[in-house]
Structures are given as structure tokens and as C-alpha cells.
Structure 1
Amino acid sequence: MHVLRTPDHRFADLPGYPYTPRYHEVGEGLRLHYLDEGPADAPVVLMMHGQPSWSYLYRRMIPPVVHAGSRVLAPDLIGFGRSDKPADRNAYTYENHVAWMLEWLDARDLSDVVLFCQDWGGLIGLRLVAARPDLFAGVIAGNTGLPDGQGMSDAVASWIRFSQAVPELPIGGILQGASGRTLTDAEVAAYDAPFPDETYKAGARAFPLLIPLTPEHASVAENKAAWAVLERWTKPFVTCFSDADPITAGGERVFQTRVPGCADQPHRTIAGGGHFLQEDAPTELAEMIIELRRRV
């Protein structure tokens, strides 16, 4: 497997991201990057990003959560951030990503984890919850889902067409366009940093086609099995969806209807939030995590 590794200098002096890189090898020699902030014996919060972002997305949420007494783990999915990037798109399957993240997670020797997940961070993170339900104490899901072949909206279909047809995938531009706030030029550049050129974007290109939206997609059966676990989940499950995200609009109702742990939880709608709600409401989201972490 031909694997690309973004040069370290691309990550020098990124605004608001002073964190020490850590690495763990998964699969067939793939280096996975993650952040590990806060006391080693503190209650754990796992923050999982989606496509085409990376752990930089959580830079403004990590400090208040750590300050409140938690340990924060924020990995970069394979193909993103400082993690290795297989050049062959065929290496990127939904099941590979779940397996890689499970391997990394199991090696951490954790307990009573609270998961915060968004976008593909939910598609993969909720599979982790289903695979290791005793490991997790609670979930906060924002602007995400767990598709199992029920079809797609016009907004999702449009995103898929764009992601496959555009000659150069504008990673920083995508983050800007799908956030409610205006990012600085330096922040946009930070989202571009992991991808020196198009050869590094195989994962970013592959992900939209991996969403199991139709019965013919791979991973439909696996997601149905995950839903069977979540439909018995009685631990706290909180939703925080934006009011201005066409991609995941209405997705909170699916969780609130199907997951017993959603009952009587302080669900929120993020006012004025785009798809990348971490850019739009980091303080509000951090407060949600702190509140949940205190009661589980």
C-alpha cells in the first residue's frame, strides 16, 4: 500500500492549536495521530471529527473541557489531519475505518467514555459505541447520523456530486462554506494544511461515496446491527443539531425516536450553526460536554 505522510512543517504555528502530537500504529503500519490533553486519570471525553476536517476542528472546545476536569482524546481519522493517508481510494472503506479506530481505542485502556461526534465522526463513533457499549457512559451527537440504506436528501446528493466532480477539492473552502461564522484566512489554511496537493485527498474524495444511503451500499447490514444496539441504549444520549445545516436537517428526530437514552435529555438546537457547529458554537458545545460529563 502506497501511503502518504504530510510533512510536519505543514502543521507549524497553526492558530489556536498548540497541542502535542501523539501517534499510534493501526492496521498494516498506518500511523494514526491523536491529541491527548488533560490528566491521565481524569474522566475521558472522546471528540471525533468528520470529513473533510480533522482534530483542528476541536481546538476551541478542548481547553474548557480540560479545565473542567476531563481528559480529552481527539484522533485524526486515517486519511485526515496528521494521520497517514493511503493514496489508493480503495483502502478507504467504512469497515476499515471502524476497524482502525477500534484498534486505536482498545489500545487506550479506557472506561466510562463520553463521546462527542459530528459528521463522519458519528458514522464511525456510533459504530464504536455499538461495538463497545460497556466502554461508553454517554453520547452527544451533533449534525451526524447512522445511515442504513433509507435513501438520501437532495442536499446530500448535491454534496456527493460536487465532491466527485470538482477538479480540486477545496478543503478549507468547504469548512468555510459550511460554517456559520467567517473563518480567518489562517484558519482556512489550517484546514488545508494536511493536504499539500490532490494526491493526499483520496480519503476526502472517497468518504462521500461510502455513506450507506441505499440498500446496495456496503455497510448497511453493519449499521443495522449497530442500530439494534443503540435501540437498547439507555445511558444518556444527547443531540445538538444546527438549525442551518441542510445536510443533516431533521437527523436529531431519528435518534430521539429510536434511542431510549434520548428520553428526558437536554437536547439543543444550535442557533445560526452551519454543518461544522464546532466552529460556530464551541463554548456552548463545551458546556454541554461538561454538563454531561458531570452527571455520568
Structure 2
Amino acid sequence: MRVLRTPDACFANLPGFPFSPNYFDVKDADGTVLRVHTVDEGPKAAAPVLLMHGEPSWSYLYRHMIPALAARGHRVLAPDLVGFGRSDKPEEVADYTYERHVKWMSDWLTGLDLRGVTLFCQDWGGLIGLRLVAAFPDRFARVVVANTGLPTGTGWTEAFKQWLDFSQTVPELPIGEIVSMGTKRGLDQAEKAAYLAPFPEEAYKAGARAFPALVPITPEHGSVEENKAAWKVLERFDKPFLTAFSDGDPVTAGGERVFRERVPGAKGQAHVTIAGGGHFLQEDKPAELVDVIDGLIRKTA
């Protein structure tokens, strides 16, 4: 596996992102060592809040939420998935599989020995993060899901079909513009450039290219059976489980219902709908999300 590493200079002076990098090495089954980057802020003795990003974003997505949660006394960890942000990037699209991502992040989670975790996940952060919950339920204290799912080959929305077609055919993947279009407020040019910063050349975008086609939306996709097995664990997960989907995301609209119906920990929770949020609701409504996460922790501690 040939691995690319974005030069540090690409991350200099990004607006609103002053955080020091932290790195942890994981090893792929083929022996390749991959460096995973994490923002790690707040008191290290506090229980961790794990913020997991999706496609094609990176931990920059959480730049407003990280300091706000840390100021409320939480240890906040925002990792970059392999292929994104300051983490290493395998060069070939074929290097990326759903199961590889789950294994890489499982090794990261257990390598750091994180326990008592509150997970917040969105987009692919949920597809991977919820697999971590299913694999290590004893490490998680509570979960907040937003604009995400854990698909098992039963179909897709028209909005996702359009995104899939676009992502696989556009000659140059416009990362900053994609994130901006997924918000309600729109991003300025400096913010768009920050989302593009991890990808100085098209070769660095193999992970971003791969992810849409890896979502298991048909029975023939890989990881369908693994996700079905994960759902069996989630159907026994009785710790606090809250949905905080936005009201303005055509890709995941209505996706909160399956969690409310199937996860025992979701029963009786004060589920919320984030008004005025797009797909990347972390950009549109970060303060509201901080209140949701912090409120759930304080209510259920």
C-alpha cells in the first residue's frame, strides 16, 4: 500500500483551527503503518467526548464545537479518518474498504484505551462510529447521532443517488464546494480552502472518492452482513442514545426514526431536531449541538 502524507505546511494558519496535532500509529493487515491524527483538547482526566466526521470533511468540521465542549470540562477528541485531514492517505481507491476503516479506528480506540466515551457522529462518522459502539459497547457511555445511518443494503434516497453519481464521475472533486453546498449558511473562501487543505493534489483524494461507493445501499455491497450484526448489538444497547438530525438534509431525512424505534437506549430520550441545519449541521448550528451533547452528559452522568 502506497501512502501519502499531506505536508504540515498545508495546515498552517487555518482560520479558527489553532489546535496542536496528536498522532497514533495503526497497522493494516498488510503490515502498512498508518498515522492517525487527532485533535485532543480539554482536561485529560475527564471522560472523553468523541467527535467523528464524515465525507469529505475532516476534524476542521468541529473547530467551533471543540473549544466550547472543552470549556465545559470535557476531554474532546476529534480524529481524522484515514484518508482525510492530517491522517495518512493510501493512494489507491481500492485501498479503502468499509471494514478496513472500522479496523483502523478500532485499533485507534483501543490503542488509546478510551472508556466512558460519549460519541457524537455524523455522515460516515456514524457508519464507522456506530460499528465501534457495536464492537466495544462497554467503552461507550452514551451516543448522539446526527444526519447518519447504519445501512444494510435496503436502498437509498434520490439525493444520495445524485451525490454518488457526481462523486464518481466529476474529474476534480471540489472538496470545499461540496462541504459548502451541504450547509445552509454557505462557507467563505477561507473556510472552503481549509477543507481542501488536506488534499494538495487529486491523488490525495482517493478516500474521498471511495467513500460514496462504499455505503452498503444494496444487498450486493460489502459490509451488509457486518452492519446487520452491528444492529443486533445496538438493539440491546440500553445506554442513553439521542438523535439530533437537522431539518434540512435531503440525504438523511427521516433517518432518525430507525434509531428511535430499534435502540433501547433511545426510549424516553429528549430527541431533538436541529432547525436551520443542513447536512453538515456542525457548520450551521455548532452551539446548539454543544448544548445537546453537554446536556445529555449532565442529565445522564
Task: Identify whether the pair has TM-score above 0.5, normalized to the shorter chain.
Answer: yes
Q: Within 5 Å, which residues of 2 pair with 1:71-150?
A: 71-150=75-154
SS in 1 for 2:244: strand
Cα distance in 1, alignment partners of residues 289 and 154 from structure 2? 29
Instruction: Give the corresponding residue for 1:170.
Output: 174
Q: Within 5 Å, which residues of 2 pair with 1:1-296?
A: 1-27=1-27, 28-294=32-298, 295-296=300-301
Cα distance in 1, alignment partners of residues 76 and 294 from structure 2? 11
* RMSD over aligned Cα atoms: 0.7
- Which amino acid is the alignment partner of residue 53 of structure 1? S
Cα distance in 1, alignment partners of residues 201 and 92 from structure 2? 15
Which deviations, in whole Å up to 9, do the C-alpha atoms of 1:184-216 show, x marking residues without a partner? 211111000000111100000000010011110
- Which amino acid is the alignment partner of residue 195 of structure 1? F
- Which amino acid is the alignment partner of residue 69 of structure 1? G
Cα distance in 2, alignment partners of residues 280 and 236 from structure 1? 25
Q: Which runs of 5+ in 2 are unaligned?
A: none
Q: What's the CA shift for 1:123?
A: 0.1
- Which amino acid is the alignment partner of residue 13 of structure 1? N
Which deviations, in whole Å up to 9, do the C-alpha atoms of 1:240-288 show, x marking residues without a partner? 1111100000000111111111111111111111100000000000011
Q: What's the CA shift for 1:39?
A: 1.2
Cα distance in 1, alignment partners of residues 114 and 210 from structure 2? 30
Which deviations, in whole Å up to 9, do the C-alpha atoms of 1:83-110 show, x marking residues without a partner? 0110011110000000000000001122
Q: Which runs of 5+ in 1 are unaligned?
A: none
Q: Is the 8 A contact 1:43 1:69 kept in 2?
A: no
Which deviations, in whole Å up to 9, do the C-alpha atoms of 1:91-145 show, x marking residues without a partner? 1000000000000000112211000000000000000000000000000000000
Moved over 2 A (4+): none
SS in 2 for 1:17: coil
SS in 1 for 2:190: helix
